[in-house]
Amino acid sequence: MGLKAMLDKIDQQWLKSFHCVYENNSFKRAAEFLCLPTSNVSRHIALLEERLDTRLFDRTTRRIAPTDAGEHLYLRTQPLLDKLNDVLEEVTQQSHEVMGQLRVLMPDSPALAQAVVSFCTQHPSISLCCDTSISPKADLLDGFDIILSFHRGKLEDHRWIAKEIKRWPSAVVASPKLLQTSPIPFQITDLKHVPCINSFTALNGTPWVFKDAKGELITQKVQSAFKVNSGYLAKSGALAGLGFAILPTESCRHELNAGALEIVNMEYEPEDLILYAFYASRKHLAKKIPMFIEHLQHQANLDNSN
């Protein structure tokens, strides 16, 4: 009797809203997925908390996080709702149309721009809202469905999912002019004593990332008076002899073939440059997001011209 009485008090829509908020870490994104006003979703959570007589989410002005009770409720009910959903999907046909608003934050790259345009051409029901940032941050994801960002080395831990789109093997390069006037580094520790072109994303520049024969990552701080967050600027600086640079070999193949840049070999190779797509949720994911990621992965003309 007690179980039936409790089930009678709980509306299934409240549980659906709860799961969607939990998985998207946002009332707003959950409401968009459910095609409901945000106020409705908030009311569902409030009613569920009232009936269960326990708080399910801790809320602040910037973010929400599940309480221990919310975590427990999700983990115990998720398998049940998954099974119910599987049964329902067996007797209905899921829509294959890609539609709705797609909000993207990405580097201002010509190749990425072309990939976005071709996706919108193939899916005319998509309404695109795209913002560009030279170095978008995964901790600024709120308000976007997907963030595209170039990284080298380990990613910071965060609650968003990172999907690899493409990777580019890289090399340390320098102009012939610099190689004539500067000591040539033979070991990565030598980079502390020669001019290098570096990123300004961290205090005093981000350490360069190399990998050993086993693929283990090794970081090396370098000397730099030319800090940029743009692959194009880094290549331009290297061509002008302003410093040694790590660049994807694909992006400077023409300059290497022409002799305007030369590869500098050391005991370790630079780690690959990787383009990631960050998004919020593994489940309750609108079809437009995995379709957009799959489209990017199939673009053969992507380069790192950011």
Whichever domain contains 147, its CATH number is: 3.40.190.10
CA 234: distance to chain centroid?
Answer: 22
* Per-residue pLDDT tens over the stretch 41-55: 999 999 999 999 999
* Per-residue pLDDT tens over the stretch 128-182: 999 987 666 655 666 788 999 888 888 876 678 889 999 999 999 999 999 999 9
Does a structural domain hold residue 249? yes
Residue 1: what pLDDT?
A: 42
CA gap 84, 273 in Å, rounded: 42
Same domain, 148 and 207: no
Does a structural domain hold residue 2? no
Does a structural domain hold residue 84? yes
Does a structural domain hold residue 18? yes
Does a structural domain hold residue 58? yes
Same domain, 148 and 280: yes
Same domain, 52 and 79: yes
Predicted TM-score (pTM) of this structure: 0.66
**Contact between residue 147 and residue 141 where contact means Cβ atoms under 8 Å apart:** yes
Beta pairing, strands 223-227 & 273-279: unpaired
Amino acid letter for position 198: N
Same domain, 163 and 174: no
Does a structural domain hold residue 3? no
Helix (H, G, I), strand (E, B) or coil at 103: strand
Domain that holds residue 47: 8-92
Residue in 247, 254, 190 with CA at minimum distance from that of residue 222: 190
